[in-house]
Structure 1
Amino acid sequence: MAIPVSKRRFGRAAITAATAVVALVSTSAIAAASPVGGSGAVSATKQRVGSTPHAPSGAVAVGAPAGDTRLDLSVNLEPRDPSALRDFVKAVSTPGNAEYHHFLAKGQFASAFGPTQNTIAQVRSALRAQGLTPGAVSADGMSIAVSATVDQAAKAFGTGFRSYKLKDGSTGFQNTAAPQFASGIAAEITGVTGLNTLVRPKPLHTGFRSAARSARSLSSTHTSAATAAATGGPTCSELSSLGTDGSDYYSPQNLAASYNMEHTATSGAGVTVGVIEYESYSSSDLAHYQSCFGTKVPVSVVKVDGGATVAPNPANNIGIESLLDMEDLIGLVPGAKLINYQGRSLVAADGKTAINTSDAYWLDPIKQAVVDDNAQVLSLSWGGCELGADSTILNTELNMSLEAASQGQSLLVASGDDGAFSCGSYNNYEKAVGDPANQPYVTAVGGTTLSGNPATSRTTWNTGDGAASAGGVSRIWSLRSADSYQAGFTGSGYSSSYCSPSTGYTCRQVPDVAALADVRGYAVYVGGGWGTVGGTSGATPTWAALVAIADAQPACKANGPIGFLNYLLYGAAKSAYSTNFMDVTSGNNGIPGHSGFSAGTGYDLTTGLGEPNGANLVNTLCSKLPAAATGTSTYHPLSPKRLLDTRSSSSSAPQVPANTSAAVKITNANGIPASGVTAVVLNVTVTRTSGNGVLTVWGDNTNRPKTSNLNWTKGETISNLVTVKVPGDGWVDFYTTSATDVIADVQGYYTNDTTGYTFTAHTPKRLLDTRSKIGVSTTTPVSNNLVNVSITGNAGIPTTAKAVVLNVTATQTVGAGYIAAYPSGATRPSVSNINWTASNTTLPGLVIVPVGSNGKVSLYVHGKAHVIADVFGYFSADGALKLNTTTPTRLLDTRANIGISRTTALTAGQTVKLQVAGRAGIPSGVSAVLLNITVTGTTSSGVLTAWPDGISRPSTSNLNWAKGWTVPNLVLVPVGSDGYVDIYVNAPTHVIADVTGYFSGS
């Protein structure tokens, strides 16, 4: 291997989890990540996966379904390393952790944490061996679709089926045993959904009242408004038909004022919120709501499993939940976008009779919202009893919420409307919480009642007739008490007897937070008229709106979405509770005949941490991320040092999969300061390349640019210098389109102050060419030796030069090898600048290398090659130019008519006059520019030269290539007085040029 191997490995937990904290385990009677049963032995060769589902309370067995009944199944798989995934989620969600906010990029989950391709192939093979035909694999790799009949499923999974008649008169069926799989793959499977059609989640809203019911009668037992209507944001005069704002209902502007939330016509701008629904809704009702408020929020519908099958009918409670969720969000964040992930209908047209739906249809819309990763915030206002969900449902929900958290999605779930008894008669009214609000990686939202305009008092929501804020202690999930987000928060009435946790663990408590849920709460336009509706299903989109407002703030927006909230929320409560939350200290969540939990000071089991003090909490959430340094920059050269090396001595395979990112922390290490860093200079190498590929380097938590830094063909080891803008969190990302190893060596960094060196551009000039005695006395190739290049006092470079910009080329190589550049007289570093793998190779590479005390730099050749070095400028204390970083932008692409009016390759001897000033934010008067130039589609060997327009072409080179090669190289080239750079090729090729920064005197 030609690249010097460093024993130090740095990388992102997206590739290998860097932390070892397990934040969640299951209860003592449950195997890890298998909350209600797990794999049970069937025989020496097969095992049961999951648990047998429960029949709903009051269900009566009525035979079995017909054998030819079609089933839409999903075989759900485990992540490749569940513990590493949980560690990663905790790390990216915890302020102060080195991994904080290093979320997976869109589409990265499959390669980072999804099952391996080998696992997927084995499961598909096992399904075929049982007579089933596996269908598509989900984009995250976590599920395999299967269509089968009841008879086929029974035979394949070793289970029977039983039909039931439910209390509402509907019928359904479920499997009588957990499905079985070959022992060798059973541990890789979470379970099979689609076998059980008795799943009955419900919308968690309560008490819809139309305006036709007297507003005065509604307000007779409710505190009257004491102040004028709150202002700010869009308003709708038609709401007056509901009575008095703050007494008979809460308008969006009043609700925002009550929670100290930002409320303008652009609140939430740039953020997409997804609502997950299981019904259709009236688009005309939604349009009327928007018309009255004067909003134009884009709403798109993603139909999952074909979408809703029953028409909206508010009189039968069909369509109210969807409109409540969307209208609440539109009223609070009119600058956002909405996506309605619409699953199959759960009830028939009468609104009472359950449809023969399945657990797969329940989970699929949530899966779709997570796998799509198009919404930063997700709101779910449907759910059921946690004890009624079997292990397949619970574990699949767990994996989906972990995936959402790993991607930076905030998932908020309504706690429910049944007080402390979310399972009701299912468990004889023993206290229990709802699912999926019980899940450890969601934010569960409870309910309150408000009084006043804006609200001057608040209490736990409880109607007194059976509807109340759901909360309590999970009987399923537990968290490691020493480091869970709920450590130090124990609601009155908590007991470990609910979940019987293992030593060192505590049961998950619900809810996490709360907001308005009173039945006189939300003003909605439903069924052609105005009305009010309550429930924790209204509180949930209210909190989703707050998160969207936070995500839209500049401090948050620049560093990515907030993601999984709970570590931040409980941390905010620990640091400044009264600043960030409005405590709810009165009320309880009991129901008639059954005592619940009581509210109290601080965290409680009725309203969690309480309601948000919006502006303060948003500021707290966003202040955890540092802002990126800005301004013109001076340069600090460093002795080269390895920061990232993904190679593993235990594997010959590349460690960064295709379409995946690695990352490295730049600031506060290796001599680089913790703040003020604007850009870093890295020599980046790819090796063990598995196919043709492209690598892009960019600042973490910003959008990946549509540019490239390295391009290669299969089997190549290739390097390039990269100057990349450093974001506020101090991390830099490396994205590759094909599997490869990535190595990054730091060469120097820029800061937004005057403590570093400034740049002087130099007309390109050759300082070394071992082929023709330039800079040396012989024409002998350099072999496992160094050659010194005189810098100061040469070609007009002054003795004040502290670092020099050289384009170094290795040519006429013999075997594999590399070149390392470093200051003369210093110890040779164990890093490289240019790498090659074969004889007769010509490869260039830009280097920025400190000048030795003797005025020279050393170029060490490992292997054998001729060496060329051309100077393009130098850094000193008295230079005139500073760096200005830009968002990487493509200025030239001869393949795509960018920067040139052609889509054909350049011809031999052609010069392109490329405009630089006035493009990509580069001003006139710019002195030099950083361009990443790539040649591709080469049909013969050739040379490319770049120089400032207006002078003669110099006898230097920037890129050299052989036939068929794709070669990149960073170019720091002076810009002509007219704002142009000239690019010459002596052989046919396509040319691409991406700008990453420029130098100017201000």
Structure 2
Amino acid sequence: MSAKLHRKSLSLSLGLLLAGASAGALAANIKPAVDVGTASADQTAHVTLFLKLHHEAALEDYIRQTVTPGSAHYQQFLTTQQFAQRYGATDAEIARVQSYLRSKGLNSEVLPSHLAIRTSGSLSQFGQLFQTSIHNYVSRENDHNFHKPVSAPQLPSAIADVVDVATGLSNEKVYRPHHVASPAFTSLGTPNAKANALSNKGSRGPNDNPTASGVPGQYTVGDVANFYDINPLYQRGVVGEGSTVGIVTLSSFYPSDATTYWSDIGLATKPDRITQVHVDGGGAIDGGSGETSIDVEQSGGIAPYANVIVYDAPNTTAGYVDAFARAVSDNTADSISTSWGLPEIFNFAALNTPGASITDTTDVGDLRAFHKIFLEAAVQGQSLFAASGDSGAYDTVRDLGAGTGAGQYTAPLTVDSPASDPFITAAGGTTTPYSYQFGTGPTASVTQESVWGWDYLQNYFAQYVHPINVFSTGGGGGVSVYWHRPFYQAFTFGIRRSEPNQSLVYNDPSAGPTTLLQMPGHFAGRNVPDISLNADPETGYVFVSTNDGGLNSGEGGTSFVAPQLNGITALLRQSTGHRVGLWNPQVYALQNFFGYNFFSPFNSVNAGDNWFYNGAPHYTPGAGIGTLDVANLDAFLRAGF
């Protein structure tokens, strides 16, 4: 780390610690919002119609073959046009939908993948098209203004056999960026006193990479290279050249933030490599802009000579889906990451559809829309990564809080979306070894890389300082109750089923406890995360964000891990000479076969917990397979394993 950045970050540390955790936008409004009347008839909206795939089972089988050595279609990824021809809607189906839209006064644009048709018009037109009325609402929780249909939209019968999902009729959901800062209470002591940059395979000194700081809370991408054995690739000249990383985000940012970060840590990078693509008008410069800066700085810092394309969109479901659809349909990025999400359960009919049963965990459409896009990405060889969340095993807590008093919600075990989709790689979080001391308490240490959960801080304060409540900050992980267990987890030891007796209950001040959702117990669901890296803000990072005051330290969250995996993929893309494709079948097969040893691509995470799931020498929903040894993973991939 350069002296300039090192001195500046040290001077800022205390102020940032006093500032506390970064505020994120609140999410979907679970309590009934106030209906303030019919939305303006001429208000413009963008609606995307996702078309039904053809031969979806064959598509999934082809994806498996692309990442299975010895298969007939190993590494035979499709172009966007080939995907459209084999699995997308036919020309006749598209023509019929467009003709119907024109008859309703709506123009449309077809994605090259034939996966979706984008259209724009007035809310009045869309209300008539989908046989519903669209009203404006104000949230009782946070005064968030939004519009949504008053009843479940109905697909027109003339096109219902072709169209599967329509997104954009509501702008209620607001997604959360998955990064957090060191909490304000750490100003009581001297955390981050020293680095013990250890791994399960021995000691790697903090000076191996010249851009590393070696200081917890002030780590850089150089420290990531030290922790996870990336330096051997750099020494071979593997720096991401010829690769392109994509970022899907819901806030715009200042590209100069990234170039300042790279310059100040002394990292040589490819010049003029950042391209911004504004989808649906683009995202705003707002409270989420720091997230976009993090994503670009981390992915582009790990792979300093890769190109970077940033797809930013407004913070709504339609914006998020459209940004992903554009990034995948463009098929320019070899790998794509996102650091935004919401609890998976917020997509269920029980919480969205008037009159739905509290046990109705069917998807209202958003999960399916993302899934179609992710299938296309996988067959095109684009590796996808999503942050798994920063609320440990209880994903709703960051959005809804938790408690037992009036006006409070329970905290069921839940996972984050889109990370829970089986065709994206979920990025989890760990705490790397470090020593800390607060108040008059003794010096304590995290002696081995552990599942990230701040209960270790809560226990320390309860014993030596004063009681605090940091529940349930930690790496997201658990069991999906929507997506079934995917094939690549079928033979993985440590995979769990959903826990019984998990419900989202609201303690209504006037009506008493009201159960909003009962989730299925013992459900054989997709487990997350898949891979974890350091994410604890106490052993966290510096980043630069103009919108957040410039240089920031003591920052973490799984939103650092997702872009780091994105950048690592760019290195592997250059090293192997081809796209890596969907990570999950490949890494689970390697872990199942080779386990954990000196030559393994993985380090097990045997300690810590995310408030429910403990670390262990096998897969856990706390840290997934574990952390990476990138040099070993690269060797296996180059050898064709």
One-letter amino acid of the counterpart of residue 220, structure 2: S
Equivalent residues in 2 for 1:538-557, closer than 5 Å: 538-553=560-575, 556-557=576-577
Equivalent residues in 2 for 1:462-611, closer than 5 Å: 462-464=453-455, 465=470, 466-479=472-485, 484-489=487-492, 491=494, 494-495=497-498, 506-519=524-537, 520-526=539-545, 527-553=549-575, 556-557=576-577, 560-578=578-596, 579-590=600-611, 596-611=612-627
Mapped to 2, the partners of 1:431 and 1:281 lie a distance apart of 33
Displacement of 1:274: 0.8
Mapped to 2, the partners of 1:209 and 1:337 lie a distance apart of 34
CA shift in 2, pair 1:254/1:215, >3 Å: farther
**Aligned twin of 1:697:** none
Displacement of 1:488: 1.8
| SS at structure 1 position matched to 2:605 | coil
Aligned with 2:268 (options 287, 290, 295): 295
CA shift in 2, pair 1:404/1:501, >3 Å: farther
What is the CA deviation profile of residues 963-996 of structure 1, one whole-angstrom value per residue up to 9, with x for unaligned ones? xxxxxxxxxxxxxxxxxxxxxxxxxxxxxxxxxx
One-letter amino acid of the counterpart of residue 307, structure 1: G
Q: Does 1:280 align with 2:252?
A: yes
Aligned with 1:396 (options 363, 369, 373): 369
Mapped to 2, the partners of 1:156 and 1:507 lie a distance apart of 36
Displacement of 1:413: 0.7
Q: Does 1:70 align with 2:44?
A: yes
Is 2:250–2:288's contact at 8 Å kept on the other side of the alignment? no
Mapped to 2, the partners of 1:431 and 1:291 lie a distance apart of 42
**Aligned twin of 1:305:** 280
CA shift in 2, pair 1:623/1:176, >3 Å: farther
Mapped to 2, the partners of 1:106 and 1:234 lie a distance apart of 40
| SS at structure 2 position matched to 1:545 | helix
What is the CA deviation profile of residues 233-262 of structure 1, one whole-angstrom value per residue up to 9, with x for unaligned ones? 5527xx5xxxxx243432322221211113
| SS at structure 1 position matched to 2:609 | coil
| SS at structure 2 position matched to 1:401 | helix
**Aligned twin of 2:219:** 250
Mapped to 2, the partners of 1:385 and 1:190 lie a distance apart of 23
Is 1:402–1:441's contact at 8 Å kept on the other side of the alignment? yes
CA shift in 2, pair 1:258/1:456, >3 Å: farther
Equivalent residues in 2 for 1:719-868, closer than 5 Å: none
Aligned with 1:457 (options 448, 452, 455): 448
| SS at structure 1 position matched to 2:155 | strand
**Aligned twin of 1:342:** 312
Q: Does 1:412 align with 2:394?
A: no
In terms of mean alpha carbon deviation, does 387-396 or 226-235 score higher? 226-235
One-letter amino acid of the counterpart of residue 382, structure 2: Q
**Aligned twin of 2:167:** 193
CA shift in 2, pair 1:60/1:94, >3 Å: farther
Mapped to 2, the partners of 1:132 and 1:266 lie a distance apart of 53
Displacement of 1:582: 0.6
Is 1:215–1:248's contact at 8 Å kept on the other side of the alignment? no
Displacement of 1:417: 0.7
Q: Does 1:374 align with 2:374?
A: no
Mapped to 2, the partners of 1:435 and 1:589 lie a distance apart of 17
Mapped to 2, the partners of 1:106 and 1:66 lie a distance apart of 38
CA shift in 2, pair 1:493/1:564, >3 Å: closer
**Aligned twin of 2:508:** none
Aligned with 1:230 (options 203, 206, 217): 206
One-letter amino acid of the counterpart of residue 151, structure 1: S
Displacement of 1:536: 0.4
Is 1:275–1:341's contact at 8 Å kept on the other side of the alignment? yes
Percent identity of equivalent pairs:
29
| SS at structure 2 position matched to 1:417 | coil
CA shift in 2, pair 1:500/1:528, >3 Å: closer
What is the CA deviation profile of residues 169-214 of structure 1, one whole-angstrom value per residue up to 9, with x for unaligned ones? 121021133332344631321211110110111110011689xx98
CA shift in 2, pair 1:194/1:163, >3 Å: same
Q: Does 1:92 align with 2:71?
A: no
Equivalent residues in 2 for 1:318-357, closer than 5 Å: 318-344=288-314, 346=315
Is 1:224–1:246's contact at 8 Å kept on the other side of the alignment? no
CA shift in 2, pair 1:337/1:92, >3 Å: same
What is the CA deviation profile of residues 864-905 of structure 1, one whole-angstrom value per residue up to 9, with x for unaligned ones? xxxxxxxxxxxxxxxxxxxxxxxxxxxxxxxxxxxxxxxxxx
CA shift in 2, pair 1:318/1:112, >3 Å: same
| SS at structure 2 position matched to 1:587 | strand
Mapped to 1, the partners of 2:29 and 2:192 lie a distance apart of 42
| SS at structure 2 position matched to 1:420 | coil
Let me know the Cα RMSD of the aligned residues: 2.9
Displacement of 1:456: 7.0
| SS at structure 2 position matched to 1:391 | coil
One-letter amino acid of the counterpart of residue 472, structure 1: G
**Aligned twin of 1:159:** 132
| SS at structure 2 position matched to 1:140 | coil
CA shift in 2, pair 1:187/1:91, >3 Å: farther
What is the CA deviation profile of residues 737-785 of structure 1, one whole-angstrom value per residue up to 9, with x for unaligned ones? xxxxxxxxxxxxxxxxxxxxxxxxxxxxxxxxxxxxxxxxxxxxxxxxx
Mapped to 2, the partners of 1:289 and 1:55 lie a distance apart of 36
Mapped to 2, the partners of 1:54 and 1:414 lie a distance apart of 19
Displacement of 1:144: 1.5
Is 1:442–1:564's contact at 8 Å kept on the other side of the alignment? yes
Is 1:276–1:366's contact at 8 Å kept on the other side of the alignment? yes
| SS at structure 2 position matched to 1:403 | helix
Is 1:419–1:589's contact at 8 Å kept on the other side of the alignment? yes
What is the CA deviation profile of residues 591-620 of structure 1, one whole-angstrom value per residue up to 9, with x for unaligned ones? xxxxx2222220001111010111111212
Mapped to 1, the partners of 2:289 and 2:29 lie a distance apart of 27
**Aligned twin of 2:13:** none
Is 1:492–1:600's contact at 8 Å kept on the other side of the alignment? no
Q: Which has the larger radius of gyration?
A: 1
Equivalent residues in 2 for 1:29-68, closer than 5 Å: 56-57=30-31, 59-68=33-42
Displacement of 1:266: 4.6
Displacement of 1:55: 5.0
Is 2:238–2:574's contact at 8 Å kept on the other side of the alignment? no
**Aligned twin of 1:150:** 123
Is 2:480–2:526's contact at 8 Å kept on the other side of the alignment? yes
Mapped to 2, the partners of 1:512 and 1:57 lie a distance apart of 33
Is 2:129–2:156's contact at 8 Å kept on the other side of the alignment? no
**Aligned twin of 1:259:** 228
Mapped to 2, the partners of 1:508 and 1:539 lie a distance apart of 20
| SS at structure 2 position matched to 1:217 | coil
One-letter amino acid of the counterpart of residue 364, structure 1: D
Is 2:177–2:288's contact at 8 Å kept on the other side of the alignment? no
Is 1:447–1:607's contact at 8 Å kept on the other side of the alignment? yes
State the TM-score, normalized to the length of structure 1: 0.50
One-letter amino acid of the counterpart of residue 217, structure 1: T
Mapped to 2, the partners of 1:224 and 1:551 lie a distance apart of 31
Structure showing greater relative contact order (alpha-carbon pairs closer than 8 Å, 6 or more residues apart):
2
| SS at structure 2 position matched to 1:429 | coil
For structure 1, the 5+ residue unaligned runs are 1-52, 240-244, 347-357, 591-595, 626-1002
Mapped to 2, the partners of 1:228 and 1:581 lie a distance apart of 16
